[in-house]
Amino acid sequence: MTANNPLLDFTDLPRFDLIQPEHVKPAITQLLADGRALVDRLTADSTPATWADFAGALSDGLEGFGRAWGVVGHLHSVNDVPAWREAYNEMLPEVSRFYTELGQNLKLFDKYRALKQSPEYATLSAERRKIVDNEIRDFRLGGAELPEDQKPRFQAIMEELSQLSAKFSENILDATNAFAEIVTDETLLAGLPDYAKDAAREAAEKAGVEGWKFTLHAPSYGPLMQYADNRELRARMYRAYATRAAEIDNGYSKPEWDNGPIMKRLLELKAEDAAMLGFNNFAEVSLYTKMADTPAQVLDFLRDMAKKAKPFAEKDIAELKAFAKDELGLTDFQPWDAAYASEKLMQARYAFSEQEVKQYFTEPKVIAGLFTVIESLFTVKVKEDKAPVWHEDVRFYRIETPAGDLVGQFYMDLYARETKRGGAWMDEARSRKRAADGIQKPIAYLNCNFARPVGGKPATFTHDEVITLFHETGHGLHHLLARGEELGVSGIHGVEWDAVELPSQFMENYCWEWDVLQGMTAHVDSGEPLPRALYDKMLAAKNFQSGMMTVRQLEFSIFDMRLHYELTGKNSDPAGNKTVMDLLDEVRREVAVLIPPEWHRFPNSFSHIFGGGYAAGYYSYKWAEVLSADCYAAFEEAGDPFDPVVGRRFLEEILSRGGERPALENFKAFRGREPSPDALLRHSGMIAA
């Protein structure tokens, strides 16, 4: 099958019109064999330790494997049907084994060290020197310096970690999909906006049941918790959501979806991983490739932020509980009342609702507005393009220079589906590099989980969803506007994890600019743009409960860092006295103002750290918020959010640099100084009067 296998076609765009699950095993098996043969050839004594003969040849030679496996992983995320899940999971251990082999290959390690010590190293470009330095660093993390008798165990740990992470995410998706709340009495849906009821009605019809079907997917769950007057309905939905993939018998979950044992095993393996590499705990392993230096430094940063934010959060929760009691009659305030009471309080205080605002953010105008921001900031053009896609909802675009030269391309997959993993994310299909025939242009995926159009009208987005779209586009621009010519530091490659969120969070600021919103809104019925009076109310409400939201993010960040600092250390035992929930309870007592019920199992669905790449790295969001707010402040100081001089400097010093130089150097080249949290605190309304 390999001769005509579309997964092996690297001539241009991925062949999503042809790729099937049965193509995965033969393609990946062949690419793994080719990769091993390449490594054998390049590590031979006869191969000189030069860039052209060794490092560049290795990067180019393994690119196809990375692209093919990237397509497989992407399809597993956006089309998680049994056949794709099986195809992905069958090859995942083989892929993990190959990467672990690379990381432990002493001959590769020796070649990189020889290149570093050679006279050629000083003559290499800054990009190439950085790649060599990163490779030498990563070999240590890959176990290359381990004694030979320990390497098989380290490889087994890496394979098991990747399998467990995939299983963790699959359990959440399966548990999420398993629950449905069917409502047949419309009076129970009082308070719900029409769009939420229409979507629930369509879901019921699709499922072949009477009434309205609600699920735990965000477009269904969120509006119900925010608007439904029926408290019992909210409580049932909240409990179902809070106990996903947990050991608790909630009437719909299965024991095999319980992520508790997976978390325990992941922590055990990470502790063993850290000890084998000579680190005190897994948090130190994680920070080895980040801007931050030590777990203590990160915890100090987070606790300092918490100290500044908690008084505002305590004020927020006191106001919310008082309003819920006095105006809504909720004398025994519960967590499932929080979103509902917050929406009512916001309406009372600012005389508008998220539902009212949502009617103005129609999909065509939002997309056009987003593209206008990109074009204005970075002097490019965004145009619709054609490509094979994995679902009829997916659209494809190209970015060009003013002269019409191609810069990059991207897919946009906006709507939620039962077979698509939750959340929003950017991923790469291809990275920029200099090839034999010129510059290879980058390609990105932008994925969201918004509600699709219903009733023949265009889809409408909440303002939060618009912010999410701008956020993911920021990641995409980091990848697409790269100017580097080497894969290892092109776009997001080689960028410290805790700096990767800077461009994405930077872009969120434009969702609050009046001139931008005027051009990206049109009421779904009248076509009128967002009224200034409504915008002023949104702006007044921008920092509504920002204290509560900040301490919630800090809760997750401190929990993550302490978890990997304290429960994966040399002297710790994840199976010992302190459990994951015990630790979370400690963190909540320190920073939280809204404490969930004891049966809430948040860690069981914390996919960022157990199913994604954020283990001991969730703090990156807040760390990068400081950087991004400070960068945006440069535009504020210039008096124009589209100031061409500042925009060009941001593009040249940060966005297009990729991982060529340390992120702190990028920042200082742009701002002329070290980062300061002042802009973030000011933007969040948390500067004490």
Handedness of CA 77, 83, 88, 89 (dihedral sign): positive
Long-range contact list for 376-380, CB < 8 A, 24+ apart? 376/642, 377/642, 377/647, 377/650, 377/651, 378/477, 378/481, 378/647, 378/651, 378/655, 379/644, 379/647, 379/648, 380/407, 380/481
- Residue among 482, 410, 404 at smallest CA distance from 439: 482
Show Cβ contacts of residue 546 under 8 Å, excluding neighbours closer than 6 positions. 312, 316, 684, 685, 686
Based on the residue annotation, tell me whether 472 is a catalytic residue of this protein.
yes
Which of 343, 354, 472, 625 does the annotation list as catalytic? 472
CB 618 within 8 A of CB 295: no
d(CA 479, CA 639): 28
Closest CA to 550 of 383, 386, 304, 269: 304
Smallest CA-to-CA distance from 142 within 129, 157, 130 is with 157
Phi–psi pair at 79, nearest 5 degrees = -145, 60
Taking a C-beta distance cutoff of 8 angstroms, is the pair 139, 151 a contact?
Answer: no
Structure tokens that stand for 34 in this block? 């080719």
Residue 680 CA to residue 160 CA, distance in Å, equals 39
**CB atoms < 10 A from the CB of 309, how many?**
26
- Is the CB of residue 377 less than 8 Å from the CB of residue 274? no
> At what angle are helices 295-328 and 580-591 packed, to 10 degrees?
70
Residues known to be catalytic: 472
